[in-house]
Chains A and B, each alone.
Chain A
């Protein structure tokens, strides 16, 4: 004890530290409160929500909002579509990313510098929205599921993150040993590199999955058919454009109750749409942070 306090804290230091803690406590509250408010409201009764009686904890506990959501066909189709786009999108993303990142991580790969230049150029220049849209249109995949999978099949930033990981974490000697033993490049990638790369694969899966689950822009510009809409577009129609079809209302004969349910529904929807990504986050936080760091080390 005496050793750790070899130099006593001055008054100024204590004051500074107190201010730091007060600041952090304020940030903590400011981030946490809105989240709690949403969750509490979603579990309250419609009447309590519209009369503004919810402050912190649920008032008159009820599951009315959730019941309305899970009996709504639009929301359920959206959920299913988002799941589809996320699973297949991530599969394509990770495969494509590894296919490019692994070869250019090897110093013996002739042409890696050219490929890096090709990659970096796409980060600095882009054709813009209209030529992008016209390209997708010319491919004939407008208003199909492909439009949600192909244009975003790979992200340059993630390729660079993966390349940096392969470069720094796979010992060169392994590759040389495998080559001596007659292992092909493909066999080495499949049997040695990938099993050693679980952390970066987890990072890629997560970053891409969050992107797909939360994506709405592609759907907004490329999709027209309702049955293809991902959850985010359904959310936009209900939450922001305020268009809920009346079939959604469980109790259509009471106008007041309907309005209340409509408001309550928004809180429940927010919870239902966010829970899948938020739920996995505590388990994978360290990988996620690692991913951001790998990306920033040798950017």
Chain B
């Protein structure tokens, strides 16, 4: 019975040092006893090291003039030259502008949309109707980006799409919406809402279900109307969840969905649809300009990190909820 005495020993030692950290000797024993668990984590840790940490280390090619022959470390160090090339390039302000317009638009529309759906669903007392709406609105989440973009293209095409049929019923003329730059951000943002609203609402519905029912009863006794109830109980109740999600979203603000934007691009709309991530892909992988493209990417990540940190700082100052 070696293991049973081991457990008793461990318990003793834990009692002995409770309040402080475990003694080194006990740590060693514990590692030894649970060697199988340490064996288990080796492979996943190796994965993280190879596919997450080596690329982080490799990000330094942004400061080098990368040549495949010389490798990550052997390539010449050029400092900030790649960055200054980017800042001076004629594309710089256009890329920043497009990226910001699309992300801020996404945030303004895409962030509140699931909240509104959840608040509305929460008012429904007919459980069957509620479940049906939830099921249907959740379904588009399973549609792949490729299929989603093809649906957008088909629906908006002047020949095949139903959107044109509807608009022409109101006497409007057919046009090639995908080719008009000023429409691009709206098409992107609203199709995202269509696809993600039901998925996004789930977390808020759970938060709403967690609100103390005493509050509703008290409000009812005080004669609160439905709108007052939503305003004074529901919305404050989901605030913590909303703030956390908002911080995470803002931290991703410059990373607007590469996959979808890239697929939605066509020669007619690039003036509005070229964003930093699509530019990185085209210059870097298609153009094999590795170092320059990595610099652009790094610049993007740094801005994201600054945004995340500042919004988190702000949230901590004005409310109780923050990421850390």
Chain A residues packing against B (C-beta within 8 Å):
7, 10, 12-13, 16-17, 20-21, 23-24, 27-28, 30-35, 37-38, 49-50, 52, 55, 96-97, 99-100, 102-104, 106, 108-111, 115, 118-119, 122, 124-136, 139, 150-151, 153-154, 159, 176, 179-180, 182, 184-186, 189, 210, 213-214, 216-217, 221, 232, 235-236, 239-240, 263, 266-267, 270, 273-274, 277-278, 281-282, 285, 289, 292-293, 296, 299
Contact = CB atoms under 8 A, between A and B. Distances in A.
Contact of A109 (B34, B45, B220, B305): B34
B233 interface: no
A110 B202 contact: no
A49 B160 contact: yes
A180 B4 contact: yes
Nearest to A137: B68
A161 to B, nearest CB: 13
B279 to A, nearest CB: 11
A135 B258 CA distance: 20
A232 B150 CA distance: 11
B151 interface: yes
Given A12-B225, A17-B226, A125-B56, A32 B142 contact: no
B61 A130 contact: yes
Given A102-B40, A130-B284, A232 B294 contact: no
Q: Nearest 8 A-B pairs (CB), nearest first?
A: A127-B55, A131-B58, A214-B144, A128-B297, A100-B44, A239-B150, A131-B55, A103-B37
B19 to A, nearest CB: 16
B160 A281 contact: no
A50 B159 CA distance: 7
B140 interface: yes
Contacts of B53: 122
A31 B139 contact: yes
Interface of B: 1, 3-4, 6-7, 10, 22, 27, 30-31, 34, 36-38, 40-41, 43-45, 47-48, 50-59, 61, 72, 117, 120-121, 123-124, 129, 132-133, 135-140, 142-147, 149-151, 153-155, 159-160, 162, 165, 194, 197-199, 202-203, 206, 220, 223, 225-227, 241, 244, 251, 258-259, 263, 277, 280-281, 284-285, 290, 293-294, 297-298, 300-301, 305, 308
A34 B50 CA distance: 43
Contacts of B142: 210, 214, 274, 277-278, 281
Contacts, number: 260
A232 B144 contact: yes
Contact of B4 (A108, A159, A182, A289): A182
B140 A31 contact: yes
11 contacts: A28-B132, A28-B133, A31-B137, A100-B44, A127-B58, A128-B294, A128-B298, A180-B4, A185-B34, A216-B146, A236-B146
Given A180-B7, A239-B146, A296-B241, A135 B58 contact: yes
Contacts of A122: 48, 52-53
Contact of B139 (A13, A115, A281): A281
Contacts of A21: 124
B225 A23 contact: no
B175 to A, nearest CB: 15
A151 B10 CA distance: 40
A100 B43 CA distance: 8
Given A96-B47, A100-B44, A125-B56, A130 B135 contact: no
